[in-house]
Structure 1
């Protein structure tokens, strides 16, 4: 079930995904579809952030804003796109 993502949505990595760090990127294997997915350094930062413990959308956004030089508008748009894609592929849970 896909939920609309809001600031209060809690994002976590599902048990249907295994990952490994490759230099400053992350490679994820979706166990349901057997497909490998690659994340760039910013995506890897986000993945590793939620892999440690579930975080709200707002917490993830704030961590990205603190780590990278990006406007809040661009950050929110790009973060929403990434989280929606990861959710659609069954790699994260949104509650």
Structure 2
């Protein structure tokens, strides 16, 4: 198992290269070319993935999502960090200093 650095609201993250995305019935599906593995990101996960095209601080990502969706900051922060941690554990993210 790969040990990942903890992702916090102060982390800056972006998409790792080598992934192809597609829209399927309103949901974003990601294919990792290196692993030959598919991921269904869903609609909100797809929104998050799109924001990761360029490096972004997690706190700024949360601000964007709060503007787009009716969600409290606490819930959004918990869900975004959980989602980004999953992406990181699958080696789909770059983390920047």
- Could you tell me the TM-score, scaled by structure 2's length? 0.87
1:59 match: 60
Task: Say how many residue pairs are matched.
Answer: 94
Counterpart mapping for 1:52-91 below 5 A: 53-91=54-92
**How far did residue 80 of structure 1 move?**
0.8
2:39 match: 37
Question: The residue matched to 1:29 in structure 2 has which SS?
Answer: strand
2:20 match: 18
- Is contact 1:14–1:93 with CA below 8 Å preserved after alignment? yes
- Could you tell me the TM-score, scaled by structure 1's length? 0.89
2:11 match: 9
**How far did residue 37 of structure 1 move?**
0.2
Query: C-alpha root-mean-square deviation of aligned residues, in Å?
Result: 1.4
- Is contact 1:16–1:30 with CA below 8 Å preserved after alignment? yes
Distance in 2 between residues matched to 1:72 and 1:2, nearest whole Å: 24
- Is contact 2:29–2:42 with CA below 8 Å preserved after alignment? no
Question: The residue matched to 2:52 in structure 1 has which SS?
Answer: helix
Distance in 2 between residues matched to 1:91 and 1:21, nearest whole Å: 18
Structure 2 unaligned segments of length 5 or more: list them: none
- Is contact 1:18–1:28 with CA below 8 Å preserved after alignment? yes
